[in-house]
Chain A
Amino acid sequence: MTDYLRPRTLDEALRLAAAGRVVPAAGCTDLFPATQAPALAGPILDLTGIEALRGIARGPGGWRIGALATWTEVARAALPPAFDGLRAAAREVGSVQIQNAGTVGGNLCNASPAADGVPCLLTLEAEVELASVRGTRRLPLPAFLTGPRQTARAADELLTAVVVPAAAGAGQGAFVKLGARRYLVISIAMVAARLEVADGRIARAAVAVGACSAVAARLPALEAALAGAPAGEAADRVVPDLVAPALAPISDVRADAAYRAEAAVELVRRALVRALPRQEAA
């Protein structure tokens, strides 16, 4: 076995992953910055030759985003308005260069608390599909992300796709990112929202905040409070008590904890305004 493997099929990849400890590699935008060496230290299982892990498609059960879908592909994909937040997040990941290489699967498996893809996928009720020679399983995203840089992926498993159930494809999505510069910036905080509005009232709200807790978090109390509210009042209903309990912000080089807590509330308001259907937003 060489220390750099680049199989062409998923079956072969799963066999290799079962045969011994390997590090899966996709866009390498998280793997390479973690080392200063001129080459990736093996054994590497490079997934980018596997056609079956690419692409974004609508199936009977919902939307399937291949693990290897890059952020550029997500940004350009023809997806309903519920995905507007995810597509906006895709355009905010690093830079064009990073978006051309970095993948959705890598973003989730890397499990950074500041991963921009996570809040959007949380509001889309996404599930991850994990495959191994032992079989395939699906986990809701919150069950997959177990902590900062920790996931429920077993050593022999590969993330093959992210699945958004058909029901979650309804409504309007939005994403707001806060950073200290325009491009190439790790979020101080970011918020994704998805609103389903019927007859001027919020039928369902899904709101998630990133970079303000060990793992990005949905805001169940706020979502409950928004249900049934007039759409135009969505932002006014956001009060700190409905946001703070779900978060546990820390102080770091980018911002202090108190600021994060306060900014999260403001960002939630702004995300909700952007998630209103066009006429309500006016």
Chain B
Amino acid sequence: MTAPLSPLSLGVNGRRVEVLAAPGRRLSEVLRADLGLTGTKVGCDAGDCGACTVLIDGAPRCACLTPLAQAAGREVLTVEGLDAAGFAPLKAAFLRHGAAQCGICTPGMLMAAAALLATNPRPAPAEAEAALGGVLCRCTGYRAIIAAVCDAHRRPLPGIPPAPGRAVGARLERLDGRPKVDGTESFGADLIPEGALLVRAVRSPHHAARFAFGDLAGWAARHGVRVFTAADIPGRNAFGTIPAFADQPALAEREVRLRGEAVALVAGEPAVVEALDLAAFPVTWEPLEPVLDPAPALAGGRTVLPLRPGNVLTRGRVARGDPEAALAAAARVAEVEVVTSFVEHAYIEPEAGVAWMEGETLVIRACTQAPVMDREETAKVLGLPEARVRIIPSATGGGFGSKLDLSLQPLIGLVALKTGRPARMVYTRAESMASTTKRHPARMRARIGADAGGRITGMLFEGVFDTGPYASWGPTVATRVPVHASGPYAVPAYRAETVAVHTNGAIGGAFRGFGVPQAAVVQETLFDDLALALGIDRLEFRRRNALRDGVPTVCGQVLRGVGIGACLDALVPHWRRALAEAERFNAQAQAQAQAPGQGLRRGVGVASCWYGCGNTALPNPSTIRLGITREGRIRLHQGATDIGQGANTVIAQIAADALGLPISRIDLVGPDTALTPDCGKTSASRQTFITGKAAMLAGQALRRQILALTNRGEAARIELEDGCLVVSDGQGAARIRLAALPEAGHGCVLLAEETYDPPTEPLDADGQGAPYAVYGWGAQMAEVEVDLALGTVRVLRITAAHDVGRAVNPLLAEGQIEGGIAQGLGMALMEEFLPGRTENLHDYLIPTAGDIPEIRPILLEVPDPEGPMGAKGLGEHVLIPTAPAILNAIRHASGARITRLPALPHRVRAAIREAAG
């Protein structure tokens, strides 16, 4: 028997509130749903992420682990109360340092920091690190956050806004940062419409099974809910990211092919649905022998997807010259097999959103990286014309590739369509981890040959990529890897072949780098083998082989603006210093009477990256609309989703400079498929380059219109004052009264719209052609310390030289570098997703604030002739060299040649033992 609830009273941000909710309810739920304080975020409901951190009587606690009853009678401080509590300077420091990227971890970080600063207003970095250790961030790599906390006591003068035409290159705070530190940024789960139905999915507990439903109608009636299955789907129950490969059902039909695959939806009143025990849902499973390894899947194993007998999704190939002959003639040949794991994106925001009907139109507001694709695919599944689906991306709490794919869009869309009521769904952490895409595990073999002078003569590469049961981005991985597996080096004879194989593992999808980070481990390991065998300094070896302008790539493409040489050169002084320091340290360690195989050793490693920006040899245009309103504001219709990487700011900087007006005049519109033109997906490091170029073209076009109206030349200055455009040059000033101009559309009196699609050439059967118009370049150096007896690795420092062509916003670029390095470090040392075993953030480990070393970013600007103002992409590049640089450093320190990722302590220890013989 449950007695009626009596209200509980607590202090929240200095106000006394009475709450009528179950005493055992998570405080996070009460704050968010009952009190409307959605600034407190939920990433796991298990204490693992700290996003829900609040202060209770001044002490940080996870609100998700605190029953309401334990907060009763006490004082709770949330992000919404920080200003009143005197922490506005902390928030300002976060903005100044670029400490909030996507912003989903920011409230938790701020609260943990506030507790520290209350007793220690000028903490040392190590103290900040310890205080923030319980809050995970997947975007920033923590260094900017730690710097902000240590700097929060300062009150710097406000910065001077950049002069018109000088926004590009300025270290501007992100334009969309304020709501992230205020806790008002609205993510997928933060819109909770009155009267919305709550939707939950019934998911497979098996890797593979046939299933049948029992009495659904009876069960639904008994619980007062609605149930939907594949039978209710009005359209084509197969979506995908690449139309030709669309194969994934929104709700499975008769057979499930991965753990966590949805088979049914339950929708109803939130209080009813959240209390349901879905284990009792009327479904019976008939488990099938799962295919969990690509090797048997290829060797006549059970077909996972009837569409693709033999389990091959796609193959990729790039071939040039005669690599066998080159290897036969080489002075040295090195060979390796490397095995990597599923890697989880582990954004702190699990998938969430709401769908509702607006007349005939289905509106879906959810976190995403690809609103236009969401619209196409959801419309198809639900049998609606695209015009009847509108996607409004919510703020997105990290994506890194996984939020390119549909997740809950067709599910909440189906419920809203069928019931006519708003339908809301929030994935649990376990649901998110089990059902969404991962980085492909790879088994890769390669041989590389070099001549006696240390020049690469040929390379052979083979990679098998586990793509799980559905296509997702598997074809992209299979094609990108052979193009990039050479690294940014001149390899005259080359053959790289890949195959993406279906299994019943997790779905292999897009994750920062599309398979290239895995392949880089292979190539960079072999480069160290060869340098060691030939007695050549490892950095020097790479410099000798670096690609240069005019030297063809493995695809036979001849590039201009090749920046790898500059990146490697920039590392030279750091490399010399680091080698000397490691040598000194190791000599000392050896001298201290330690038994062999004991003690600490330091090592240094280096690795490079190159990465083509945009789709591989396929069109991928972006369109930008830029206008000026009667009131004299500039309206930038920007359809690129900013998932934390900074597109909102970078695109505006480029547009402002191309137009020649101050960036402070720009208002951002969108993204929203009903308002903004298509800017494509936020993937493949394409937004700065492609959407940036469209923004540059739109800015230039608008500028030309203005100049034409006043008959002025290109050199004229444009200003906005008192509702007028003032155009001046040697002949004096001309004024355009904006209010006097006719409407040009979209609420603007002057309007320009420009599209840019990068020039590429299709690849032939040997992968020869021009797959990308622009590449970005980078090289990183890792310094590590290995505990020989335990096999544990501490990364001490990473020096990262990246050629970005033009650093549109160095603050944001450095943030990308630090964040990418943190993910690369995780991939190298700790991240291993095992379906069914690590579907939470305590068994699946990502780096914490205490695991990220000092990072020294070096931004280089080798202009690209095609990129806007010379700019190249950066988003994915930054992660590629990190893991191989760390692995090479481990080997330098300890002799351990790691070929199985991640390098968990037991694997490092085993490799050390093997190296010792």
Interface residues of A (CB under 8 A from B): 1-4, 6, 25, 27-29, 32-33, 36-42, 44, 46, 48, 72, 94-98, 100-101, 178, 180-186, 188, 253-256, 258-260, 262-263, 266-267
Return 29 A-B CB contacts under 8 Å, by A number: A4-B23, A32-B45, A32-B46, A39-B24, A39-B25, A39-B29, A94-B134, A96-B133, A97-B53, A97-B61, A97-B62, A97-B112, A97-B134, A98-B65, A100-B60, A101-B61, A101-B62, A178-B792, A180-B792, A182-B850, A182-B851, A183-B134, A183-B849, A184-B133, A254-B904, A259-B791, A259-B906, A259-B910, A262-B909
Say if the beta carbon of B248 comes within 8 Å of chain A: no
Chain A interface: which of B284-292, B577-585, B830-838? B830-838
Interface residues of B (CB under 8 A from A): 1-3, 22-26, 29, 45-48, 50, 53, 59-62, 64-67, 69-70, 112, 115, 130-131, 133-136, 274-275, 428, 430, 789-792, 829-830, 832, 834, 837-838, 842-843, 845, 847-851, 904-906, 909-910
Q: How far is the CA of A258 from the CA of B26 in the complex (A)?
A: 41
Q: How far is the CA of A254 from the CA of B53 in the complex (A)?
A: 27
The residues of B that contact A46 with a CB separation of less than 8 Å are 23-24, 67, 69-70
The residues of A that contact B29 with a CB separation of less than 8 Å are 38-39
Contact between B47 and A178, CB atoms less than 8 A apart: no
The residues of B that contact A178 with a CB separation of less than 8 Å are 790, 792, 905
Given contacts A32-B46, A36-B430, A101-B61, contact A95 B22 (CB under 8 A): no
The residues of A that contact B50 with a CB separation of less than 8 Å are 95, 97
Partner of A72, one of B59, B62, B842: B59
Q: How far is the CA of A253 from the CA of B844 in the complex (A)?
A: 9
The smallest C-beta distance from B435 to any residue of chain A, in angstroms, reads 14
The chain A residue sitting closest to B913, CB to CB, is A262
Given contacts A36-B45, A184-B134, contact A29 B65 (CB under 8 A): yes
Which one of A39, A98, A260, A266 has the highest number of Cβ atoms from chain B below 10 Å of its Cβ? A39
Contact between B69 and A255, CB atoms less than 8 A apart: no
Contact between B59 and A100, CB atoms less than 8 A apart: yes
Contact between A182 and B133, CB atoms less than 8 A apart: yes
Given contacts A37-B274, A97-B112, A255-B904, contact A42 B133 (CB under 8 A): no
The chain B residue sitting closest to A178, CB to CB, is B790
The residues of A that contact B838 with a CB separation of less than 8 Å are 253
Contact between A180 and B829, CB atoms less than 8 A apart: yes
The chain A residue sitting closest to B274, CB to CB, is A38
Q: How far is the CA of A46 from the CA of B8 in the complex (A)?
A: 15
The smallest C-beta distance from A250 to any residue of chain B, in angstroms, reads 13
The residues of A that contact B23 with a CB separation of less than 8 Å are 4, 6, 46
The residues of B that contact A266 with a CB separation of less than 8 Å are 789-790
Q: How far is the CA of A186 from the CA of B845 in the complex (A)?
A: 10
Partner of A1, one of B1, B26, B48, B837: B1
Contact between B46 and A33, CB atoms less than 8 A apart: yes
Contact between A36 and B842, CB atoms less than 8 A apart: no
Q: 16 more A-B contacts (CB under 8 A) besides A38-B26, A39-B24?
A: A3-B2, A37-B275, A39-B29, A46-B24, A46-B69, A95-B134, A97-B47, A97-B60, A97-B112, A98-B62, A100-B61, A178-B792, A183-B134, A184-B134, A253-B832, A260-B906
Which one of B46, B792, B830, B906 has the highest number of Cβ atoms from chain A below 10 Å of its Cβ? B906
Q: How far is the CA of A97 from the CA of B65 in the complex (A)?
A: 10
Contact between A4 and B133, CB atoms less than 8 A apart: no
Which one of A25, A40, A98, A183 has the highest number of Cβ atoms from chain B below 10 Å of its Cβ? A183
From DSSP, what is the main secondary structure of chain A's interface residues? loop
The residues of A that contact B69 with a CB separation of less than 8 Å are 4, 6, 46
The residues of B that contact A186 with a CB separation of less than 8 Å are 842-843
The smallest C-beta distance from A82 to any residue of chain B, in angstroms, reads 25
Q: How far is the CA of A64 from the CA of B843 in the complex (A)?
A: 34
Q: How far is the CA of A49 from the CA of B243 in the complex (A)?
A: 59
The residues of A that contact B274 with a CB separation of less than 8 Å are 37-38
Partner of A181, one of B428, B430, B847: B847
Q: How far is the CA of A101 from the CA of B65 in the complex (A)?
A: 9
The smallest C-beta distance from B913 to any residue of chain A, in angstroms, reads 9
Partner of A28, one of B65, B829, B834: B65
Q: How far is the CA of A185 from the CA of B179 in the complex (A)?
A: 32
Partner of A259, one of B1, B428, B905: B905
Partner of A33, one of B2, B25, B47: B47
The residues of B that contact A94 with a CB separation of less than 8 Å are 47, 134
Contact between A32 and B837, CB atoms less than 8 A apart: no
Q: How far is the CA of A95 from the CA of B111 in the complex (A)?
A: 14
Given contacts A3-B2, A39-B24, A39-B26, contact A259 B909 (CB under 8 A): yes
Contact between B67 and A28, CB atoms less than 8 A apart: yes
Partner of B65, one of A3, A32, A181, A256: A32
The chain A residue sitting closest to B909, CB to CB, is A259
Contact between B904 and A180, CB atoms less than 8 A apart: yes
The residues of B that contact A183 with a CB separation of less than 8 Å are 130, 133-134, 848-850
Contact between A3 and B24, CB atoms less than 8 A apart: yes
For the complex of A and B, 7 pairs with smallest distance between CB atoms: A95-B134, A182-B850, A183-B133, A259-B906, A40-B24, A33-B46, A4-B23
The residues of A that contact B24 with a CB separation of less than 8 Å are 3-4, 39-42, 44, 46
The residues of B that contact A25 with a CB separation of less than 8 Å are 67
